[in-house]
Structure 1
Amino acid sequence: MSQIAAPQMPTPPNQMKKKAISIVAAVLIGHVGVIWGVSQMKAPELAPIDKKPLKVRFVKLQESPRPLPPKPKAEPKKEPPKPKEVKIVEKPVPAPPKKVEKVQQVQKQTAPKTVTAPPIEAKPTPAPVVPTVVTETKVKPAPAPVTPPAPVTPPAPATPPAPPAPPAPKNVSLGGGVSWLRAPKVSMSPGELRSSCSMVVDITANEQGKVTTATARNSSCSPAVNRKVESAVRRAQLTKYVENGVAYPIRGVEQPFDFQVK
């Protein structure tokens, strides 16, 4: 015969609370006992350490005197050139010619006798002696005339070489030599395109493929649509057209546009 285990009855809540309270009380009592035991223990006494006080001495640092800058050397003074002494000697004045006085014999008529007086020679008077005076005068040499330097004419600037003439544009077509590197994008707002229309845009571009002109022709669209398409084409870019390693500007490129309104 098989034994049937009887179902265990659940522990009432009051007994569970008593067990929990008894466990908490036991833990608290244990802690209190440990704290009391630790408080009764004596701390070990440490031997004092004798240390001598440190002696600190403040020393004032003296800054070393900065060396004086060397005195500039005095430039020797240039003495002005001494004027040359020129001696001027005056020529002696020639003595005037001696004057000779002639005494003519004068016959005096007397009544009884005629007496002829002997000729009297006149003594020459000495000519005055003119003293010769030699004076020395210092004459400063006249400064030499300063001739201004001749004006220097600058050399004529060299004429720069004429720039090479730009290559003539080539007539090409889409797919026959160039293609769109950045195709034109035309966006229409609602109601701007009222009916279906079409047009052809003539394009010219430079050596780099940048569109320079875009002109709509044979257009059945409104002028506003024409202007928007031309502006979109000018913002686009074509590939370079190269012949024998030389890039050429292009013209005659035609791009058709066909707008359909559904």
Structure 2
Amino acid sequence: MGGFGALGTIFLALLTYLTLRDNQKLVHEELKDREKPIWNAVLRDIVNASLQSISSNGSVISNAEVEWTETKSKQSPTDLTGTGLNTCLDNPDLVAVEYFWQSYPEASRLVSQYDQRLHEMTDTARDVLERLEDPVTDFRLNTRGITEHDHDRLLSLLIAGPEATSSEELPEWWVENEGAIQSELIDNIPELQAWYDDLEEFLTFSERLQEQLRHAKRDIQSEYGIDPDSGLQ
């Protein structure tokens, strides 16, 4: 009889454990269902929005499509859309931001750092352009075929960087003098080479952030059963 009692106790304990475990699973699934709309917002307003902005920014920088010269007229360029650049976080849901920060602190930190660096780069571009004004004017006046009308175009091509490509037809004076222009002005304005280095490092940083965001996206979609092709409405 004692053996049956012991077996009964063990059975009861096992049954209690299994019941508690099932209840915990049920609570966990219910919690996930309640949080799913928030994670949809995280994907839509933070992860996907950031990936889109980073990809677009990288493309326009690499293809020399950023209107860096627009920064000359801005004392405090908080709006980057005029230059062709976009920040990652544009009035996102604050609850979504908190959820993302709690679960993906490194990716969140890098997103914030990305936006900060983007603003800093527009400030730096303005400073470099100011330093280039006189040397570019001198070079223009002493080079055949470059007119005053070409001044901002010359600045734009110069600050785009030696690795940038262009979908537009390049002016003949640039094709003929690109190497000489860059060499002479880099020698006179060391900040220009530092700017080129910053652009290259920023694009490398962007790639690292994109990988972090893609990992978070796959993780969230898997955890909350979100269709990768959904509109995330």
TM-score bucket of the superposed structures, by smaller chain: under 0.3
**Taking CA–CA contacts closer than 8 Å with sequence separation of 6 or more, which of the two structures ends up with the larger relative contact order?**
2
Larger Rg: 1
TM-score norm. by structure 2 comes to 0.22
TM-score, length basis structure 1: 0.20
